[in-house]
Amino acid sequence: MRFLDPVRWSERIWVDGQWRPGAGGHHAIVSPSTGEQLGKIGFASPADVDAAAESAMIAQREWAARSYEDRAAVLRRAGDIWNAQSAEIVEWLQRESGSATAKAEHEVATAAQECYEAAALAAVPYGEVLRSTEPRLSFSRRVPVGLVAVIAPFNAPIVLSIRAVAPALALGNAVLLKPDSRTSVSGGVTLAAVFEEAGLPKGLLQLLPGRGVDVGERLITTPHTRVVAFTGSTGVGRRVGELAAHHLKRAHLELGGNNALIVLDDADLAHAPGVGAMGSFIHQGQICMVTGRQLVHESIADEYATRLAERAQALVVGDPAGSQPVQLGPIIDQKQLHSIDSIVRDTVAAGAQLKAGGTFDGLFYRPTVLDHVTPEHRAFREEIFGPVAPITRFATLDEAVELACDTEYGLSLGILTGNVMRGLALADRIPSGNVHINDQTVNDEVPVPFGGVGASGTGSRHGGHQANLEAFTELQWVTARGELPRYPEMEHV
């Protein structure tokens, strides 16, 4: 039997350690490359969410009482299973999400590493002894929040689920997971299967695919949820934040981006266009950290644009699960493809120069280079979420800063330069959650704190032991005395 056997999960949700039908019906899983129906995932209802939350809290209390060694052991086994089942999971990522092989393999390897890091997280110091004016022991400690809701998107469905699920479990919490309906196998079924085999007690991970307007909102508003970890668009993130604030829940929001790659006049032109191509075209541009604006010094812009277009034209676009290797797969669906093409066409009509791409076949959009893009163009102002590299020219560092800051987002920034200190000084002038000198904007590692500012998020972070402790625990103050205190003012009442 295959690890992700569709017979087990077809038209079902994962609740209390069992695959059972959801009250919300079911949803077809369709390959964006071929249009083939890959299976049907069950859809939960708001009532399913409430029932799952109730049982998850019962399981969570026992889980939190277990030793950190027990929790760490489950996470280590999960990491081993990701590695052992990598080939089958990669195949699902290719077919369901349109991931090229290298990207899919990276996701699975990252999932394993997330579990290993979470296993170590279970044993980190979690408090400190405090000074007190009283004769008592005074200390603070981190305790589990209880129940965490994780809402994950389609573009990196495993990584953007596991990076919250693994540390939340390691710290003694239970999790309600809602993956994107388009990638519910990669972003949901795989996690349920891995943790089931790893020996995670029943009820601690509940898989609840469903519609955002009912199931997604109920994940936030159900009384037991204390923390919401959401990754997705800024528009939906604002709604998540509003609901969470109204119901007094903590929300960690990792949202959109329109990230700048600044190419200074002293950058290495032999390699800079390759860096720019990676930043704008990886996973068809469907990544929040993707390079959405390439700001290039006017003295090198002509040569840079030409070389970038040559790289775009040489990239192979096709079905990642096919017989030939490809660098780019399909756009996730027709709606997203139409949005990308509309931005490209409007920008060209407004005066930008199309240097490469701008065409599509089915859901396969050619990597596209637009030159002479100005701040008035849609390709500069909007998050494209597609394989498009808009080039905007600048003359001075002040102008580069002004252009880079001309956005509501602040997720990732790249600066290419022959002088690292010059790059660091420039980065100090541009608000951004992540900065990469001499690299493109799509960078992330398991042990590092990751997040954005402005419309890219709330400033909260995923990743790294300290950030995860703050994200998935409450800070509790505890005192202890050796004997009862005396309160003279109360003794003669």
Q: In this structure, are 229 and 304 located in the same domain?
A: no
Maximum separation of any 2 CA atoms in the chain, in Å: 90
Burial environment of residue 128 by CB neighbours within 10 A (0 to 12, 13 to 18, 19 or more): exposed
Q: In this structure, are 293 and 206 located in the same domain?
A: no
Residues 114-173: tens digit of each pLDDT = 999 999 999 999 999 999 999 999 999 999 999 999 999 999 999 999 999 999 999 999
In a domain, 318, yes or no: yes
Q: What is the pTM of this model?
A: 0.95
Q: In this structure, are 172 and 245 located in the same domain?
A: yes
Q: In this structure, are 401 and 385 located in the same domain?
A: yes
**Residue 378: half-sphere exposure toward Cβ, Cα within 13 Å:** 15
Find the CATH number of the domain harbouring 270.
3.40.309.10
pLDDT (tens place) for every residue of the chain, 493 residues total: 589 999 999 999 999 999 999 999 999 999 999 999 999 999 999 999 999 999 999 999 999 999 999 999 999 999 999 999 999 999 999 999 999 999 999 999 999 999 999 999 999 999 999 999 999 999 999 999 999 999 999 999 999 999 999 999 999 999 999 999 999 999 999 999 999 999 999 999 999 999 988 999 999 999 999 999 999 999 999 999 999 999 999 999 999 999 999 999 999 999 999 999 999 999 999 999 999 999 999 999 999 999 999 999 999 999 999 999 999 999 999 999 999 999 999 999 999 999 999 999 999 999 999 999 999 999 999 999 999 999 999 999 999 999 999 999 999 999 999 999 999 999 999 999 999 999 999 999 999 989 999 999 986 777 889 999 999 999 999 999 999 999 988 887 5
- The Cβ of residue 382 has, within 10 Å, a number of other Cβ atoms equal to 17
Q: In this structure, are 472 and 390 located in the same domain?
A: no
When computed from its CA atoms, the radius of gyration of the chain, rounded to whole angstroms, is 24
Q: In this structure, are 78 and 14 located in the same domain?
A: yes
In a domain, 291, yes or no: yes
**Paired sense of beta strands 227-231 and 147-151, if any:** parallel
Q: Which residues have CB under 8 Å from 297's CB, separation 6+?
A: 263, 264, 265, 267, 393, 394, 395, 400
Q: In this structure, are 373 and 419 located in the same domain?
A: yes
Q: In this structure, are 224 and 265 located in the same domain?
A: no
Catalytic residues: 254, 288
Q: In this structure, what are the phi and psi dihedrals at residue 416, rounded to the nearest 5 degrees?
A: -105, 125
Q: In this structure, are 67 and 130 located in the same domain?
A: yes
**Which range of residues forms the domain containing residue 149?**
6-255+457-478
